[in-house]
Amino acid sequence: MLIGAQINELILKKLLSTEKNQIKLFNNLSYSMYPARAMSVTLEEVKTRKGSEYLRALGYKTGKAGVDHVRDEMRIYEKMLPDRLKDIKVTLTILGFGIIDDLDLKEKSVAFSIPSHPVIGPAIERYGSEAGAISFYEGLFAAFINEWFQFPTDLSTEVLSPDNVLMRGEKRV
Amino acid sequence: MCLCGARSVFSGTTIEKKILQKIIKIEHAHAVLLSKLHYIMWPARSFAVMWQQLGEDLGPGELYDIGFKAGEDGADEIINLMGFRTMTIPMRLRMLMRMFEVLGFGVAEWIKMDPKQNQVILHLHNMPVIDEGKQLYGPNSLVSHHYMGIFAVHMRKELGVENADLRETQSVAKGSKFSEWVTGVKFK
């Protein structure tokens, strides 16, 4: 897969490394992990307590924190980064937020698919198409679309199957 | 895709490391345990922002409870996948802590671990999300409460500590070099 080659390139250029058994990007951005199914449980627990709109806002804030942080670091390392590694899809993948396909960004609308997402898929299987994970990731991906393309939008989701969901949004004016 | 720096993470000679070398891979930017248990891999800052917001809106006790409840699933899967039932408690402890370390849950130092007496004192060092919480929110960081809940459920399920509710007696956010968590009354 193409992403694999890009990750390996980051390792070779020493932009992705390990320190004290932690994975670090640009020697500064620390990663942590969380069981994907457990995250779907966490998000459903939050939905029970606070509702879907709250989750959407929480996803937006979480995604924006990630994109802001990585962009700060990217500016420092910009000359070392191949252009294709500055792509939104690659950045989303490197940040661990998921892989998006078929990104269709028009003047007033955006659409993309999310195949085999490790949190969204199990959440749909367990809680159905209204799962809290969907609202959370609508907010998270909206943050990326807005920050990357200056395209403010509220995303909605069509579940084709647990392994294939579509997200769409109109540009907010 | 594979590796993502994993080769150097798992280099070493101990039995635990060699076992872990075979059971954890990095695929498609998330980690997969024994080809079955998927982990998302996010910047520590994103996790810190999320847990802090939940802590502020729901309270630290609820943040702990959500970590505990979410951890139940993961703990059951780890017990089955790693064959914990056939291992001694010390071996489970080493495996679990080594795995947590690799997954970015910090380095655990067990000051006291007596499952039969339900007495546990744990020092957690270099936890990237807790460190990020301190950097962002200073002494007001609530991030550690979520991870206390997660560690508590793993202590109960994998290590057999019946009264595994934890409270924080030393806090990174308040200036300590490590988190000190002890069994006792849960923070509310």
Alpha carbon distance B142, B115 (integer Å):
27
pLDDT tens-digit profile, chain A (173 residues): 334 455 555 555 556 666 665 667 767 788 888 888 899 999 999 999 999 999 999 999 999 998 888 777 766 666 665 565 556 766 676 667 877 888 898 999 999 999 888 899 999 999 999 999 999 999 999 998 998 888 999 999 999 999 999 999 999 98
- Residue B9 is predicted with a pLDDT of 38
List the beta bridge partners of residue A24.
A17, A30
Please list, in sequence order, all residues whose beta carbon lies within 8 angstroms of the beta carbon of residue B184, skipping any fewer than 6 positions away.
B165, B166, B167
> Is the confidence at residue B139, as pLDDT, over 90?
yes
Cβ–Cβ gap B4/A70 under 8 Å = no
Half-sphere exposure of A31 (CA within 13 A, CB side): 31
B5 close to A (CB below 8 A): yes
Amino acid at A137: Y
Q: Where are the beta strands (DSSP E) in chain A?
A: 16-19, 22-25, 29-35, 101-105, 109-115, 156-161, 164-170
Q: Which of B30, B58, B107 sits opposite A49 (nearest CB)?
A: B58
The count of other CB atoms within 10 Å of the CB of residue A163 is 13
> Is the confidence at residue B80, as pLDDT, over 60?
yes
- Residue A103 is predicted with a pLDDT of 87
Q: Which of A16, A30, A50 sits opposite B44 (nearest CB)?
A: A30
Closest CA in chain A for residue B39 = A35
> Is the confidence at residue B29, as pLDDT, over 60?
no
Cβ atoms A31, A95 nearer than 8 A: no
- Residue B186 is predicted with a pLDDT of 41
B16 close to A (CB below 8 A): no
B40 close to A (CB below 8 A): yes
- Residue A69 is predicted with a pLDDT of 83
Please list, in sequence order, all residues whose beta carbon lies within 8 angstroms of the beta carbon of residue B164, skipping any fewer than 6 positions away.
B118, B120, B152, B153, B155, B156, B183
Instruction: Tell me the whole-structure pTM to 2 decimals.
Output: 0.85
- Residue B5 is predicted with a pLDDT of 33
B74 close to A (CB below 8 A): yes
Chain A closest-CA separation from residue B156 CA (Å): 17
* HEC string for chain B: CCCCCHHHHCCCCCHHHHHHHHHEEEECCEEEECCCEEEEEEEHHHHHHHHHHHHHHHCHHHHHHHHHHHHHHHHHHHHHHHCHHHCCHHHHHHHHHHHHHHCCCCEEEEEEEEHHHCEEEEEEECCHHHHHHHHHHHHHCCHHHHHHHHHHHHHHHCCCCCCCCEEEEECCCCCCCCEEEEECCCCC
The count of other CB atoms within 10 Å of the CB of residue B42 is 27
Q: Which of B1, B8, B29 sits opposite A96 (nearest CB)?
A: B29
Determine which of A2-16, B50-64, B65-79, B150-164 has the lowest per-residue pLDDT on average: A2-16
For residue B141 the two structure tokens come to 């960081």
